[in-house]
Chains A and B, each alone.
Chain A
Amino acid sequence: MTTYSDTNDILADSYSVRPAIDDIATRIYYMYQFLYISSLFLIEDLKTDSTQETNFGRTYPRYVEMLWVRDKTTADDIATRILARTKTLQLISEFQATIAILANDLLSEININYYAGPVLVTDTMTITKIEIDLDTLVVSIEATKIP
């Protein structure tokens, strides 16, 4: 995994971090075993993280329709993974970089070194957006911190 630095590869004053509040989910309602004749799911289930709901002071529901899942093992595993990823507040980083960053593609994982105040932080992130100005060759990146 390549490490990029805000003092080298990241363009000056372009680095910012914001919370992905819309992506929080402490309660996963998931439905599977779709019945095509009635367009209804036969089974509904729920995964919850009560600790995080206490921490947040409220519930954050997410509704997941598993149209192509019919068995409980698969459905439970997927719901568990979604909850594990979304139950905490994810951070989204945005920055501009040189074309060196194009060695990665969407969903590539990279390390970012940056100063959060006086502290040097290294975060592992998944690239979710790549924007290239093909005339100036400035690359804008959006990446989500991996919890």
Chain B
Amino acid sequence: MTFAAKSLLHTNKPIVVMEIALDAGTLYFSNHDAEFGGAEVIETLYSSIKDGYVLYSSASDTFAVVRAGTTGTSVNDSSVSYVGGAGYVHRDDFMATMAIGRGFFYFDLLGLAADKIAGAKLSLYKYDHGDSSASVQQGTQAGTLTTADYNNFTGSEFGHTSWAGSGYIDIDFDAAGIAYIQTLIGSGTAKLCAREYEHDYSNSEPGTPESYFNGCFFSDEAGTTKNPKLTLTYNDARFYEGRVLSFGSLSRSVSNVEGDFEISDIKTTLSDADGYFKALNQDLFLNRVVTYKIGFEDDDISDFKTIFVGAISDFSYDEATFSITVKDITSNYMERDYGGILSSTDFPNANDDIINKKMPIMYGEHTNPTKATPIDRIGTSKDGNIYHNDALWANVYGAATGTGADDTQTGSYYATEAKKFAGGNYMAQRSFFYFDLSGVSGNLIATAVSLSLFKSLNGDSSVSVQQGTQASTLTTADYDAFTGTKFGHTSWAGSGYIDIVFDAAGIAYVQALIGSGTAKLCAREYEHDYSNSAPGDGIDYSNGLIYSEGSADEVPLLKITYTSGVGVIPCYLIDPTKDKWLVAGHAMSAINDVFIPFDDAESEPRLVDSANYTIALTETYANGLDADITTVTFDADAPPANAVVTVNGDGITDGGLLQNPIDIIKHFITEYLSMTTSQYNATDFTAQTTIATNRSYIGAGIISDFSKRPLEHIEEIARSFGLTVFFDEDGLFTLKFVN
């Protein structure tokens, strides 16, 4: 009958008991002396292979002489079975032989707890004959059987039974037999002797000829299915001493929305008029586990219901009482130290603020959106234009040298132009620009580039841009100082700044010069000059712009776009000499992006080219979880030591990336707090894992604030998902979704 049903219907008095688990054993208390029955526990032991038999056979001795003999004529401790192994008496008329055989068995009881047994029986597997009955009694044989053990037994039989059956035949022990076994539990070896009962044990001479064989198997038989065995029955009944004057009260509560729980302390007062507690070593009490149970007067103690499991957090005593304060058991689990520590021995070059720091613990997938961030480089004042004037378009288009050059324009100018004067010459005008990129971080990755020119005057057609090869100071000789195909072109119909977006070749050209050189660009009228199409007579295709000598908000710009952003996971510089940064104190499944400041430590973070660092997802380090940590080592483009380095990546795996929030909590409490299924409610965890899976809940986070108790981290996770965590009535850590 379960507690639930019984507590409703039962009329007997309810009882509260408490158990204090000390290192040296458990103390049992109630509010009055009481013993409660317990559950039956069965222990099965097998005889050692030293078992066997000793026999006395004589062609001249009488039954009385043979039975009372002190030394046998033969011994065997290596047979698998024997026809008279459980004892026999044989009288052979033809050979005038009188023989008696006795079996001897050994059962090691050293490894058993010293509980009180309620029953014992010897079971021998029948072999061949079963002519009478077999008895068992205490043996006194040597550790190794010899013929001198023939009469090494003592006292009366513990029991006997007919050997008429098959398979295992049980001989149940009487009280004396149980007492004999009890004395040896936890301390010695039970020795037993089996004898033929009706004639040998009972001293009744057989007729002539008569044989009474009772066969059995011994422990030399392979396996244990036929081995001699001793079965012990326990009853874990317990006596509870009536020292409790007041149990006190208990309060446990959870929030149905916030995820936190509260458990009160229990203050229990026990009688100590005899000084029992004061005589004990006081150190034995602190932090020892106390269990409170409730049941009924006539219950087995196994039917009592556990209502609270805590640990002694304080105690006090006076002349007649001893009081203990029992705190919820969270303190035993949730205040454990956790996480690995970076040691100065292992990282002698690390800064002091890193040493003895705990290593972050990361779960789940961490990504953070990046953004395209432009930087603008202003053209140098050497920019300007060159034109060529000729009667033939072919000469204008293909000329090597210009007719004139001007790099001093301060305002707007018809900077790219293709024109035919009415009835006169053709003319083309080209602009050349310089952008110093040496000051840009050499490891910036350009994802987009455009030349941005401020339109001033006409916008008659389009403007193209391509690589320039002009000298550092423009001369007419630079009229054809360009190479390759255009990087891009665009209509000059708009107003203000007009961007000419570069193609991949243009981006590559600029990328190659970032951090080291000057980008030279040539802008040309597109439809006629670049495309080699002579303008019609009297038509002018001019596209005006402003050079770098113009006002600051109109100057030519080279716009370089790169990827910026910040990783979710901050890193710690653990070895400046190797530019090695710690990501996590355990193995991770992936690092996807690494971010460092753009220039100095204070500047905006940017994505690092993956070619510039090496990831070690499982670097061996004894202080890490499972002796692994995760690091990033910069091979190039290393940030300054005081930089903020962040990464995105995937955390701990356990049969796949841990993302289910319940699995994350379970991993943390088992791997970092060393909690076992005897300390958390595995059934509840499994059920809630299923709920989280069905709801497609994904968790990700970092445990890096080690000033927090472990429970605070767990509650942070719980609150994130609408979970409530608490310790159940059995003291097991558990959790449930409340929504």
Q: Are B644 and A37 in contact (CB under 8 A)?
A: yes
Who on chain A is nearest to B702 by CB? Answer: A36
Q: Are A23 and B257 in contact (CB under 8 A)?
A: yes
| One of A9, A33, A106, A137 near B252 (C-beta < 8 A) | A106
Chain A: interface size category: 35 or more
Q: Are A69 and B729 in contact (CB under 8 A)?
A: no
**Can you list 29 residue pairs at the A/B interface with Cβ under 8 Å?**
A36-B570, A37-B570, A65-B719, A67-B717, A68-B363, A68-B364, A68-B661, A68-B701, A68-B721, A69-B720, A70-B366, A70-B698, A82-B739, A84-B739, A85-B257, A85-B738, A103-B3, A105-B729, A106-B261, A126-B738, A128-B256, A129-B251, A129-B254, A130-B250, A130-B251, A130-B252, A130-B253, A131-B249, A135-B31
Instruction: Give chain A's interface residues, CB within 8 Å of chain B.
Output: 2, 9, 23, 32-38, 42, 64-71, 73-74, 77-78, 81-82, 84-86, 90, 98-100, 102-103, 105-107, 126, 128-135, 137, 142, 144
Q: Which residues of chain B come closer than 8 Å to A103, judged between CB atoms?
A: 2-4, 7, 305
Q: Are A131 and B251 in contact (CB under 8 A)?
A: yes
Who on chain B is nearest to A103 by CB? Answer: B4
Q: Does B247 contact A (CB under 8 A)?
A: yes
Who on chain A is nearest to B722 by CB? Answer: A78
Q: Does B545 contact A (CB under 8 A)?
A: no
| One of B250, B268, B701, B738 near A132 (C-beta < 8 A) | B250
* Contact A134 to B250, CB < 8 A, known contacts A35-B566, A36-B704, A68-B717: yes
* Contact A36 to B569, CB < 8 A, known contacts A77-B695, A106-B726: yes
Besides the known contacts A35-B568, A68-B701, A107-B738, 10 further A-B residue pairs in the complex with CB atoms under 8 A apart: A32-B720, A65-B719, A100-B7, A102-B294, A103-B305, A105-B728, A107-B726, A131-B249, A134-B16, A134-B268
Q: Are A102 and B3 in contact (CB under 8 A)?
A: yes
Q: Are A106 and B257 in contact (CB under 8 A)?
A: no
Q: Does B368 contact A (CB under 8 A)?
A: yes
Q: Which residues of chain B come closer than 8 Å to A66, judged between CB atoms?
A: 719-721
Instruction: Give chain B's interface residues, CB within 8 Å of chain A.
Output: 2-4, 7-8, 14, 16, 31, 246-257, 261, 266, 268, 292, 294, 305, 307, 363-368, 566-570, 644, 646, 661, 664, 695-702, 704, 716-717, 719-722, 724, 726, 728-729, 736, 738-739
Q: Which residues of chain A come closer than 8 Å to B268, judged between CB atoms?
A: 134
Q: Which residues of chain A come closer than 8 Å to B261, judged between CB atoms?
A: 106
Q: Which residues of chain A come closer than 8 Å to B664, judged between CB atoms?
A: 68
Who on chain B is nearest to A144 by CB? Answer: B256
Q: Which residues of chain A come closer than 8 Å to B568, judged between CB atoms?
A: 35-37
Q: Enumerate the 3 nearest inter-chain pairs by beta-carbon distance, A residue then B residue, closest first.
A: A103-B4, A134-B247, A81-B739
Q: Are A78 and B256 in contact (CB under 8 A)?
A: no
Who on chain B is nearest to A32 by CB? Answer: B720
Q: Are A131 and B250 in contact (CB under 8 A)?
A: yes
Q: Are B256 and A126 in contact (CB under 8 A)?
A: yes
Who on chain B is nearest to A23 by CB? Answer: B257
Q: Are A128 and B253 in contact (CB under 8 A)?
A: yes
Q: How far is the CA of A74 from the CA of B720 in the complex (A)?
A: 10
Q: How far is the CA of A38 from the CA of B565 in the complex (A)?
A: 13
| One of A65, A85, A106 near B739 (C-beta < 8 A) | A85
Q: Are B14 and A137 in contact (CB under 8 A)?
A: yes
Q: How far is the CA of A117 from the CA of B618 in the complex (A)?
A: 68
Q: How far is the CA of A42 from the CA of B648 in the complex (A)?
A: 15
Q: Which residues of chain A come closer than 8 Å to B722, judged between CB atoms?
A: 78, 81-82
| One of B7, B257, B266, B717 near A86 (C-beta < 8 A) | B257
* Contact A69 to B699, CB < 8 A, known contacts A99-B7, A102-B3: yes
* Nearest CB of chain A from residue B30's CB, rounded to whole Å: 11
Q: Which residues of chain B come closer than 8 Å to A32, judged between CB atoms?
A: 720
